[in-house]
Structure 1
Amino acid sequence: MTDPNTTLADALATLINPADVDDYIRCAVEYVLDPEVAPPTSLLHPRFNEDLPGISDLAGFLWKQCFYYALPRRKQKKFLAAIARDPSMIMETARTVQSAFMDFSQKNPSRSSEVGEVIAYTLVQHLLKAPQVAAKMALKTSANMPVHGLDGIHARFEDGAMTVFFLEAKLTRNANAGAKAYAESAKEFLSNRSQYLREYDIVADMGNLDDLQGDAREAALEYFDVVGKKRVQRRERYVGVVCYSEKRVYAEKIPIGSGPIDAHENHFAERLALLKDRYRKAALKHLKANGADPAKCFVFFLAVPDVNHLRREFYTAMGLPPPPDLPEDDDEDDDEEVIEQVENA
C-alpha cells in the first residue's frame, strides 16, 4: 500500500520549477537548524566572472525565472502548449510576464523592488526545497500596484508534517536595515489575523495546488483550510530574504593574477562568511524587538555590490526602461564593527 504521506510529499515536489541557481548564486554560509543559534541564517552572493560579480548574468537568470514566479501553473501550461504549437508565442508569453511588473516610479523608487521578490522565490525553492503554492503576482489587477500582504507562500511536506513558509523580501542599503525591515514586516503580518486568513484562502482558492491530482490534491488543500480543518497540524515559518549592498567586503579585493580562476570568488566568500554571526545576531535582535519567535524564522542574506545596480539590470533584462541612477542612501548602520571583523580575520 502506498504511504499517503509519501504521496503528498512527492506530489508537492512536482511543483518545484527548474532553476540552475548554483550557476548564478553561491552559498558562502549554509543555514543550520539549531535552536541555540536561531534564527537559521545563510549568506549568499552572485557568482563571479573572474574578479567581477556577475550581476548582469544574475539579472538575466532572475528574469527567466519570472515565467514560473509570476504565472500560476495552469497559465504556465497554457503558454507552454501554445509555444509547442507555434514558437512565436514565446513573444506573447514574455509580454504577459513583463506586464505583471511595476514601472519604475521616481517618486516611489522603493516600490520598484520586485526583483527582491523573485530572488526570494528562487532561494526558498532552492534552499528549502519548498515550491511556491500561490503565484501572488497573478492577483494584481494593475501592474503599477504592489501585491498586498506577503511576498510569497511556499510549502513542503516531510516526516508527516506540512511546513508553510511565509516570505518577506527586502532590497536594502545594508544587511542590518534589511533585517530590521523584515522583522517589522513579520510583526505586521502576525498581528493581522484577517490578512493571515486571507493568505491561506489565496492558496486554497487560487493557488498552484490545483495542479495536483486526486487524493494528493485533497490532502494538500486540507492543510490550507485553517477554518474548516482546525485539527490539521501545520508548521509555519517566516522567511526573510534580504538582498543588500555589501560594499565593504567587495572592496577587499585581491590582485588579478594567473592563478585559479575562482580565486577572487573564493576570497570574497571567505570574507563574507566572517560576517555570519554579526548578521544573525542583528536579525535576532530585530525579531525579538518585534515579538517574533526566532526559532520559527529563516534569514537569507544575498550580498551584491549595489542593489540599485541589480535593480537596473533586472529592468534591462526584462526589456523595460531601467530606472535612472538612484541616490545613495548610505546611512552607515553597519558601523566600524564590520570592517574590524574583516580586517582582524
Structure 2
Amino acid sequence: MDLLSIRSSNHDKITEHVVVHDVDHNCFDGLEVKSNFYFLRIVNDTYGLKEFVDYIDEQIVPFCIPVNILERDRKRYEKNGGIHKFSTEMRAKAINLFIISKKQRKKSGEVGELILFILQEAFLNAPQVSCKMILKTNRAMAIHGSDGIHMTEKDGELCVLWGESKIYKDAKLAVKRIIESIVSFNKPDEESGIAPKDRDIQILRDFPNVPDKELEEKILNYFDPYIESEKKEAYSCFIGFDLEKYTEIFSRDKDTITKTFKDEYNKQIKEICEAFSIQIKSANIDKFEFNFLLLPFESVADLRSAFFAKIGFPDYQEYEESDE
C-alpha cells in the first residue's frame, strides 16, 4: 500500500469549492518555499462561503477520528445490524470533539486545522498520519505542538509535514504568529530539554493513523532515533485571512468580478509573501523547507460563525486574534 492510498477522505469534490490560483511571484529567493494559493469558487457571481462550509463540514469525521477507530466501529455496527447508524454516530462523535476542544481551549483554532488537513490531503497528496484532534480532548494529555502531522513523498523518500494554521483578519499578523509557533515548536524546554517537536514525534509513534501495517512500520522506522536515515521534513503553513475590498469587488459589474478579484488577490499575495520571507529570515529558520498556503475570505469571523453554527454550536466564544 502506498502513502497516497491512506488519505483519510475522498476529496474528489474539493475543486467544486476551492480553486487553485496560479500566479508568478519572486518573493522567496534563496528560501525553500513552495507557494500554494487558493480561493473559494465564485458561485452565481457570489462568494461561495456557504458551499465551502458545507464541504469542510463533511470532512470532520476523517479529520477527528483515527482510521483504526473508524474501522473498529464500522465492524461493530455491521455485526449488530446497525450499519445505517454508523455515519450518524461518527459525525456526532466528531462534532462532540470539536465542541469539547473549543470549550476547553478558548484560543484553539480547529477550523484552520481542519482546512489545513483538507488542503494537504487534497492538493499536496499528503495524508494525515497521526490524528491529534481526538487526543486534544483528553485532559490527562498535554497536546500542544503542531497543528497537524502529515506525510508525503519527496524524491521517493518519506517527508513529514508539520502543520501550522492561522485564521486571522490580518494576514501579516498571521504570518508573524506562524513563524513564532515554528520557532517555539523547535525550542527545547529549559527544564526537560524536550521540544514540542519531540513530543509530536512521540505522539506519532504512539498513535499512528495508518491502516496498513507495512506502511505503518515504514513510518515508525522513519522516526526511530536508532535507525540511521535522512529525515526529510517541511512546514506546511496555512493562512486564512480577510481579503481587502472583498465586499466592494462583489458589488461591481458581474462581468468583471473574477478579474477584479484576482487582481486584488495578487496584490495581497505579493505583500503577504514578502512578509513571510522577512519573518523567516528574521527568525533564522531560513534553512527549513516550507509549503505556504493562502486562502482569502470576505470575513474570517463569518467563516467561524458559519462553521460552528453548521455543527450545532452557534454560541461559541470568539477570541482576540492577537492572542490566538
Figure out how many residues of one structure are paired with residues of the other and give that number.
Answer: 310
Which of 114, 126, 130 lines up with 1:130 in the alignment? Answer: 126
Q: Given the alignment of the two structures, is residue 98 of structure 1 paired with residue 95 of structure 2, yes or no? A: yes
Alignment-derived partner of residue 218 in structure 1: 217
Alignment-derived partner of residue 144 in structure 2: 148
Which letter maps to 1:45?
Answer: F
Once the two structures are TM-superposed, the CA of residue 235 in structure 1 deviates from its matched residue by 1.0
CA distance in 2, matches of 1:224, 1:327: 36
Q: Are 1:164 and 1:235, in contact at CA under 8 Å, matched by a contact in 2?
A: yes
1:34-81 Cα distance to aligned partner (Å, 9 max, x none): 754653223222222223211122112112111111111111223444
Q: Are 1:31 and 1:42, in contact at CA under 8 Å, matched by a contact in 2?
A: no
1:3-50 Cα distance to aligned partner (Å, 9 max, x none): xxxxxxx52111112112211111223699975465322322222222
Alignment-derived partner of residue 59 in structure 2: 65
CA spacing shift, 1:278–1:294, aligned 2, 3 Å: farther
CA distance in 1, matches of 2:147, 2:321: 23
CA spacing shift, 1:159–1:298, aligned 2, 3 Å: closer
Query: Secondary structure, in 3 states, of the residue corresponding to 2:316?
Result: coil
Alignment-derived partner of residue 45 in structure 1: 39
Alignment-derived partner of residue 244 in structure 2: 247
Question: Which runs of 5 or more structure 2 residues have no equivalent in the other structure?
Answer: 189-193
Q: Are 2:186 and 2:195, in contact at CA under 8 Å, matched by a contact in 1?
A: no
Alignment-derived partner of residue 228 in structure 1: 226
CA spacing shift, 1:228–1:103, aligned 2, 3 Å: same
Q: Are 2:240 and 2:295, in contact at CA under 8 Å, matched by a contact in 1?
A: yes
Which letter maps to 2:53?
Answer: A
CA distance in 1, matches of 2:217, 2:100: 39
Query: Secondary structure, in 3 states, of the residue corresponding to 2:293?
Result: strand
- How is 1:323-338 mapped onto 2 (pairs within 5 angstroms)? 323=316
CA distance in 2, matches of 1:183, 1:168: 9
CA spacing shift, 1:105–1:207, aligned 2, 3 Å: closer
Q: Given the alignment of the two structures, is residue 207 of structure 1 paired with residue 201 of structure 2, yes or no? A: no
CA RMSD of aligned residues (A): 3.0
In the superposition, the TM-score normalised over structure 1's length comes to 0.80
Q: Are 1:11 and 1:212, in contact at CA under 8 Å, matched by a contact in 2?
A: no
Q: Are 1:165 and 1:236, in contact at CA under 8 Å, matched by a contact in 2?
A: yes
Q: Are 2:33 and 2:292, in contact at CA under 8 Å, matched by a contact in 1?
A: yes
Query: Secondary structure, in 3 states, of the residue corresponding to 1:315?
Result: helix
Which letter maps to 2:171?
Answer: A
Query: Secondary structure, in 3 states, of the residue corresponding to 2:125?
Result: coil
CA distance in 1, matches of 2:155, 2:31: 23
Percent of matched pairs sharing the same residue: 21
CA spacing shift, 1:316–1:82, aligned 2, 3 Å: farther
Q: Are 1:104 and 1:322, in contact at CA under 8 Å, matched by a contact in 2?
A: no
Q: Given the alignment of the two structures, is residue 29 of structure 1 paired with residue 26 of structure 2, yes or no? A: no
Which letter maps to 1:241?
Answer: F
Which letter maps to 1:223?
Answer: Y
Query: Secondary structure, in 3 states, of the residue corresponding to 1:171?
Result: strand
Question: Which runs of 5 or more structure 1 residues have no equivalent in the other structure?
Answer: 1-9, 331-345
Query: Secondary structure, in 3 states, of the residue corresponding to 1:242?
Result: strand
Once the two structures are TM-superposed, the CA of residue 200 in structure 1 deviates from its matched residue by 1.3
1:214-250 Cα distance to aligned partner (Å, 9 max, x none): 3x3322221122x222x11121111111111113244
Which range moves more in the overlay, 150-159 or 241-250? 241-250
CA distance in 1, matches of 2:76, 2:104: 39
Which letter maps to 2:219?
Answer: A
CA spacing shift, 1:58–1:13, aligned 2, 3 Å: same
CA distance in 2, matches of 1:206, 1:253: 45
Which letter maps to 2:182?
Answer: A
1:227-277 Cα distance to aligned partner (Å, 9 max, x none): 222x111211111111111132442346345x5xxx634542343123322
Which range moves more in the overlay, 168-177 or 248-257? 248-257
Alignment-derived partner of residue 114 in structure 2: 118
Which of 13, 18, 22 lines up with 2:4 in the alignment? Answer: 13
Query: Secondary structure, in 3 states, of the residue corresponding to 1:29?
Result: coil
Q: Are 2:101 and 2:136, in contact at CA under 8 Å, matched by a contact in 1?
A: no
CA distance in 2, matches of 1:328, 1:198: 27
Which letter maps to 2:87?
Answer: I
Once the two structures are TM-superposed, the CA of residue 109 in structure 1 deviates from its matched residue by 5.3
Q: Given the alignment of the two structures, is residue 291 of structure 1 paired with residue 292 of structure 2, yes or no? A: no
